[in-house]
């Protein structure tokens, strides 16, 4: 709207001062546009410079021998077909245990966080009295302000013995513990985005439903929730992306064992935690180093795709509810 304001001015004959002023305006606008370019530049630089360090896996003879794609993704001979031991005498670089570990922990956290976040949002948006809503919303959003290292610490010190005894597990650090702690980190994401989607549903929908004799819960469940469905799905996808990329919690609570096991009581190793744990001691330029950057590329691509899906669905809600995209 505002943009049109300065453009309609006709300028017949300009004095020197006016021309200088016009030049200055152009310079300011140019500078600001240049700054806006940094977002795009940063995103491109991230993928370029992370991929660049991973490139050795495909160009360097030593790296290609030690960490070929088949060694990363296919079963190897021997008693243990899938192992991640990149620093042993004969490096084993299977990414399968990392995928299994990441997925296992992420699924646990989603199973806990999705119902909590969506139902919590439904309560705050539809059922809570106004006073309570104004209190609950910022308080739940405060949870997002807790650094993940603190959640990892909390899992380690407080949740670990509770989870171990409750589920009768052998190990203090395991997939369940990491998943539960991770759920705490993604609940605020799912809650906030779902709540936004629910609040975006126009009042007229609710009034129409109530006027037809539906109760408050029927309106919430059968009118508001379906109307906001794409946005809520987007919230879940966004939460999933956060869960896959979250590092410190998983690093501290999962036990970091490179085993292929879907048992929730076993320790697990995730993609992100592997980077965090091993990058500190790796030799720059070695095959192992390139491997860790390759994991970074994978994480970047996973989360990029999930983000694009989520933002498309968020837009869909607005489109559906207002008839226009914005």
Partner 1 sequence: MKYTTRRAIGLGLTGLTAFAAFFIVGMLALILWDVARHGARHISWAFLTEAPSDGMMGGGIFPAIFGTAALTLLMTLAVMPVGVLTAVYLHEYAPPESRFARWVRVAVVNLAGVPSIVFGLFGLGFFILFVGGNLDRLLGYQEMHWAQPGILWASLTLAVLTLPVVIVSTEEALRAVPLDQRTASLALGATQSQTLARVVLPGALPGILTGAVLAISRGAGEVAPILFTGAAYFLPDLPTSLDSQFMHLGYHTYVMATQSPNVTEASGPLYATVLVLLALTFALNLVAVIIRTRTRRKAASAH
Closer CB to partner 1, residue 10 or residue 157?
157
CB proximity list for 152: less than 8 A, separation 6 or greater: 181, 248, 249, 250, 251, 252, 253
Minimum Å distance from CB 88 to partner 1?
A: 22
CB proximity list for 193: less than 8 A, separation 6 or greater: 231, 232, 234, 235, 238, 310, 314
Task: Pick the binder of partner 1 from 193, 198, 275, 291 (CB under 8 A).
Answer: 275
Task: Pick the binder of partner 1 from 10, 16, 42, 283 (CB under 8 A).
Answer: 42
Minimum Å distance from CB 73 to partner 1?
A: 21
Asked if 11 interacts with partner 1 (CB under 8 A), we say no
Q: How far is CA 230 from the centre of its chain?
A: 17
Kindly write out the interface string for residues 168-207 of this chain, putting x where it contacts partner 1 by CB under 8 A and - elsewhere. Answer: ----------------x--x---x----------------
158 φ/ψ angles, rounded to the nearest 5 degrees: -110, -50
Structural contact between residues 260 and 82, judged by C-beta atoms closer than 8 angstroms: yes
Closer CB to partner 1, residue 149 or residue 208?
149
DSSP designation for 155: I
Kindly write out the interface string for residues 134-173 of this chain, putting x where it contacts partner 1 by CB under 8 A and - elsewhere. Answer: --x-xxx-xx-xxxxxxxxxx-xxx---------------
Asked if 1 interacts with partner 1 (CB under 8 A), we say yes
Task: Pick the binder of partner 1 from 62, 166, 222, 311 (CB under 8 A).
Answer: 311
The dihedral over CA atoms of 121, 124, 125, 128, expressed in degrees to the nearest 10, equals 150
Task: List Cα–Cα distances, 254 to 9, 27, 307, in angstroms.
Answer: 64, 53, 25
Asked if 313 interacts with partner 1 (CB under 8 A), we say no
Asked if 49 interacts with partner 1 (CB under 8 A), we say yes
């Amino acid at each position: 709207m505002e943009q049109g304001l300065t453009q309609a001015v006709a300028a017949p004959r300009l004095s020197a001062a006016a021309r200088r002023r016009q030049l200055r305006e152009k310079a300011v606008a140019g500078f600001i546009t240049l700054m806006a370019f940094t977002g795009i530049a940063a995103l491109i630089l991230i993928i370029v410079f992370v991929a660049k360090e991973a490139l050795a896996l495909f160009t360097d003879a030593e790296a290609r021998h030690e960490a070929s794609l088949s060694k990363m993704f296919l079963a190897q001979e021997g008693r243990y077909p899938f192992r991640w031991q990149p620093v042993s005498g004969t490096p084993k670089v299977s990414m399968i245990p990392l995928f299994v570990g990441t997925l296992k922990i992420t699924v646990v956290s989603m199973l806990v966080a999705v119902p909590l976040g969506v139902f919590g949002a439904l309560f705050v948006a539809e059922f809570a009295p106004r006073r309570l809503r104004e209190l609950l919303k910022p308080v739940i959003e405060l949870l997002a302000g807790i650094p993940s290292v603190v959640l990892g610490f909390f899992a380690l010190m407080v949740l670990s013995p509770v989870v171990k005894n409750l589920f009768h597990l052998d190990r203090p650090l395991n997939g369940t513990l990491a998943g539960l702690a991770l759920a705490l980190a993604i609940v605020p994401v799912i809650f906030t985005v779902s709540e936004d989607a629910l609040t975006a549903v126009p009042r007229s929908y609710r009034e129409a439903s109530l006027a037809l004799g539906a109760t408050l819960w029927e309106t919430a469940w059968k009118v508001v929730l379906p109307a906001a469905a794409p946005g809520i799905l987007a919230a879940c996808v966004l939460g999933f992306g956060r869960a896959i990329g979250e590092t410190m919690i998983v690093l501290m609570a999962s036990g970091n064992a490179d085993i292929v096991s879907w048992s929730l009581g076993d320790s697990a190793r995730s993609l992100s935690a592997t980077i965090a744990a091993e990058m500190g001691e790796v030799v720059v330029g070695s095959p192992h180093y390139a491997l860790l950057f390759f994991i970074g590329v994978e994480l970047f691509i996973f989360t990029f795709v999930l983000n694009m899906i989520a933002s498309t669905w968020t837009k869909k809600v607005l489109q559906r509810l207002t008839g226009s995209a914005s």
